[in-house]
Amino acid sequence: MIKINLSRLMGERKLKISDVARDTGINRGTITRLYHETAERIELEVIETLCRYLECTLSDLLEVIDD
């Protein structure tokens, strides 16, 4: 299973979904699905944009965990 750590990363920086959407240009719905871990697929461009915006690595944003 892949865990999306966007909510934790945003919480640490006190960011709202609307802040990230406005600042990155990523669709609000996409960020909401990632935040709530309901996304079924993610575009590589979105991952790259989020990592650059949050100044984090891919492994900070996504991690594989055992079920």
Across the range 24-28, mean pLDDT stands at 98
| Tens-digit pLDDT profile for residues 43-55 | 999 999 999 999 9
Return the closest-CA partner of residue 2 out of 52, 59, 45: 59
Return the closest-CA partner of residue 36 out of 1, 4, 11: 4
Q: What's the one-letter identity of residue 63?
A: E
The C-alpha R_g of the chain, in whole angstroms, comes to 11
Contacts of 30 (CB under 8 A, 6+ apart): 39, 46
Q: What's the one-letter identity of residue 23?
A: D
Q: Does residue 12 have a pLDDT over 80?
A: yes
Across the range 2-13, mean pLDDT stands at 97
Domains of the chain: 2-64 (1.10.260.40)
Q: Does residue 67 have a pLDDT over 80?
A: no
